[in-house]
Structure 1
Amino acid sequence: MQKLTITRPDDWHLHLRDGAALKAVLPHTVRQFARAIVMPNLKPPVRSVVDAAAYRDRIIAAIPAGKQFEPLMTLYLTDNTSPADIIAAKASQFVKAVKYYPAGATTNSDFGVTDIRKCDPVFKAMEQVDMPLLLHGEVADRDVDMFDREKVFIEKQLLPLKQRFPNLRVVLEHITTSDAVQFVLAAHNIAATITPQHLLFNRNSLFKGGIRPHFYCLPILKREEHRQALLQAAISGNPKFFLGTDSAPHSRDSKENSCGCAGCYSALHAMELYAEVFEHADALDKLEAFASFYGPDFYQLPRNTEQITLAKTTWRIPDEVPFTESGLVPLRAGQEMTWQMA
């Protein structure tokens, strides 16, 4: 196959940052995606409808001239979020979900939830108005092994949560383990996003020839058996699994230092990466539904009508792209790709 034309996809998990960083990275997403669920973990975080409206305005102002893009906003769940915040979010029509971060688990998560049961009144309101809950599905306990944090979260927090609120719509974001795949398959009203890095790489990539900071993300890359489970889920044609890049821009100097940030930047070439994954699995016929249909269906939004075309051609991923105080290194920088958006 030399060309692949599919319905324009959406990104159901995206970090855009703000200010100069937002202006630098947004064009990469707009080139490929019609819509994106925008993460709220700014400093300070997006905690109210007022915050979300202001952030949405800044995103819209940064869209390149002549391009169309719809940011789908989220609220950052805290110990102090109230049911009234959920009612206001639903009424706004532009806030599409609420994001849960365990306090201290990942980038800018210091405002996150200290005990998930504290949020039960909020979850009840979300269930009543049918507002999706997006989960960073890890525990942040220091006594839990880094590679087990997702599995322990599912066992100790997610399973009881779904028992308390069976009709709450949940997205378990950026899943990384076979445990997550099995849970999503078995549970009611739950879906999952899968990133390109977790489909392409296992944890060996973090240590190949030395420490590789640009492969460091949270949740961290796992064993090959887990990568294979994610791959089978992505190409399965099951509508519970859909595209979410978790593209997270960090400057080169914030990644390449003694305490580097977690996050992989894939917005530059996300669809090319996914196309490579699906082609290698002999499943290109399943890419369109994974990228363009299952996400909007779960979020109860219309599917896009425009199309994009990917062409079979060889090109080299740049070593870095312009960013803020230093360059931004994309995932697999310097390597060759075999698909490119026309």
Structure 2
Amino acid sequence: MVISIDSPLDMHLHLRDMDMLDIVAPLSAETFAGGLVMPNLVPPVTTKEAVCDYRNRICRAQGDHCFTPYMTLFFRSDYRPEFLESVKDEILAIKLYPAGITTNSEGGVSGFDLEELSPVLGVMSDLGIPLCVHGETGGFVMDREAEFIPIYEMLAQNFPDLKIVMEHITTKEAVAALDRYDNLFATITLHHLYITLDDVAGGLLQPHLFCKPIAKRPEDRSALLNVALGAHPKVMFGSDSAPHPRDKKEAPGCAAGVFTAPIALQGLAQLFDRHGALENLQAFVSDNAQRIYGITPPAKKVVLEKTPYLVPEIYEGSVVPMFAGQSLAWRVVSAG
């Protein structure tokens, strides 16, 4: 069996910088037509110059692959309207992180004071710049996303013309919120469609499956599968592929992040095939994102074949992928 996907998109992607960027950028660019690149570098991407410089570094690192890096800014409440106007054409979205909630988010938002956030959110709404949000509180780790839903609702109600993307949703509560507000959308990762917390810590600890937001309960995974496999028009694929060196994952203080970029399409094809939903993969991995963000990615056809594919144990001696050393049922046979 053979399938093809037109212009697959990864709408939540960590490419890091420097040596790590050189390793992982070609792995995304090989099989995807574009990706929404996260801005949580050190220091974070908060200026027009930083956006342009980072894009240039990505383009150099990706080599000759046909791939568009869609850039983002790190949300700050002190951005001036004239700055947002000047940077609008260089970015696709602005990413909001609660302070300290995930990797390199220390400069994020502390508290969600509507009066403080409104000036920037109002200008974003007027300019048509979407807001992407890492939606977790600082509460008990299993409840953080569900506790954040009222904040999403507050934002959606007060800024009805602002597109708000709930990033890497993991709970049935987030899925339910999708249909309550016209301006709420979501990305879903590969790993949250496959795993629950039991896969991470139910036996021996699996550090390469540890991520934030943490994997949740079986009923949460079922809710995610339902909207992803059904190609719900408000959800799209965002890998949240988050590479860390092996010595930072297999260590005390394990870094959060699952590296899925080079095996994402194979893993998705296997999953959608297993559930008899291959006809919906195109919408989940490309069409919905194009409509939601109003983008036209480069033309790129990726062909996959139902033939076993052995996932490498490690890439460039540094980064361990999800499914390392395991066999997937689908492989990429061409991309271009």
- Superposition TM-score tier, normalisation by shorter sequence: over 0.9
Q: Per-residue deviation at 1:292?
A: 1.5
**Deviation beyond 6 Å, 4+ runs, structure 1:** none
Matched, 1:99 2:95: yes
1:243 maps to 237
* 3-state SS, counterpart of residue 257 of structure 1: coil
Q: Which position in structure 2 is the counterpart of 1:297? A: 291
Is 1:254 the equivalent of 2:252? no
CA contact (8 A) 1:292 1:304 kept: no
Query: How do residues 23-172 of structure 1 correspond to structure 2 at under 5 angstroms?
Result: 23-64=22-63, 66-90=64-88, 93-117=89-113, 118-140=116-138, 144-155=139-150, 157-172=151-166
Q: 1:7, 1:304 within 8 Å by CA — same for their partners in 2?
A: no
Structure 1 residues not aligned, in runs of 5+:
none
2:180 paired residue among 176, 179, 186:
186
Q: Which residue pairs with 1:175 in the alignment?
A: 169
Change (3 A) 1:36 1:269: same
Shift of 1:304: 4.7
8 Å CA contact 2:166, 2:184 repeated in 1 = yes
Letter of the structure 2 residue corresponding to residue 154 of structure 1: I
Q: Distance in 1 between matches of 2:95 and 2:80?
A: 14
Would you say the 8 A contact 2:78–2:120 is kept in 1?
no
Q: Does the Cα contact within 8 Å between 2:33 and 2:299 map onto a contact in 1? A: no
CA shift for structure 1 position 81: 2.9
Q: What are the superposed Cα offsets for residues 260-312 of structure 1, whole Å, 9 maximum, x if unpaired?
A: 11000001111001111111111001001111100011111125533110011
Q: What TM-score comes out, normalization by structure 1 length? A: 0.94
Structure 1 residues 57 and 303, CA gap change in structure 2 (3 angstroms): closer
Q: Which of the residues 257, 267, 289 maps onto 1:273?
A: 267
> Residue deviations 1:172-224, cap 9 Å, x none?
11000010011012211221110000001111011243111111111100000
Alignment-mate amino acid for residue 10 of structure 1: L
Most deviating of 259-268 and 160-169? 160-169
Q: Is the 8 A contact 1:194 1:245 kept in 2?
A: yes
Structure 1 residue 62: Cα displacement: 1.2
- Paired-residue identity, %: 39
Contact 1:101 1:112 in 2 (8 A): yes
Q: What does 1:179-258 align with in structure 2 at a 5 Å threshold?
A: 179-258=173-252
SS in 2 for 1:268: helix
